[in-house]
Amino acid sequence: MKFINYLTSITGVEIYPLITLVLFVGIFILATILVFSKDNETINKIKNLPLED
């Protein structure tokens, strides 16, 4: 049985690329916005974790 047979059985597989692109761009923008809106105190706390021995 060729591998292709398993893939062809997925219905509506054509939509995958579109969903992906939307997901990728969406998450990327969301991450950027949210990361920059994060409060400085928390950031500083986490940032210093490696230095606390």
Partner 1 sequence: MNTEPSRDQNISGSEPILRPGEGLQVETFYYDNRTVKNFAYATLFWGLVGMLAGLWAALSLAWPAVNLGLPATSFGRMRPVHTNAVVFAFVGNAIFCGVYYSLQRLLKARMWSDKLSKIHFWGWQTIILLGAISLWMGFTQGKEYAELEWPLDIAITAIWLVFGANMLGTILHRRVAHLYVAIWFYIGTWVAVAMLHIVNSIALPVSFTKSYSWYAGVQDALVQWWYGHNAVAFFLTTPFLGLMYYFVPKAANRPVYSYRWSIIHFWALIFLYIWAGPHHLLYTALPEWAQSLGTVFSIMLIAPSWGGMLNGLLTLRGAWDRVRDDAILKFFVVALTCYGMATFEGPMLSLKSVNAISHYTDWTIAHVHVGALGWNGFLAFGMLYWLLPRIFNTKLYSQKWANTHFWIGTLGIIFYVIPLYWAAFTQSLMWKQFTDDGTLQYQFMETVNAIQPMYVLRALGGSLYISGLVLMIVNISKTIKSGKLIPNEKAEAPSLPENYKYKEEKGHWHSWIEKRPVQMIFLSLIAVGIGGMVEMIPTFLVKSNIPTIASVKPYTPLELYGRNIYIREGCYTCHSQMIRPFRDEVARYGEYSKAGEFVYDHPFQWGSKRTGPDLAREGGKYPDSWHYNHLLDPTSMTSGSLMPRYPWLFDDKIDKMKTYDMIRAMKKLGVPYAVGYENIANDDVDMQASKIQKNLAGDKIDVAPNDEIVALIAYLQRLGTDIKAEKN
Positions touching partner 1 (CB under 8 A) are 1-4, 7-8, 10, 13, 16-17, 20, 23-24, 27-28, 31-32, 34-36, 38-39, 41-51, 53
What is the rounded CA–CA span in Å between residue 30 and residue 24? 10
| Tokens at 3, concatenated | 């591998």
| Contact yes or no for 13/7 (Cβ under 8 A) | yes
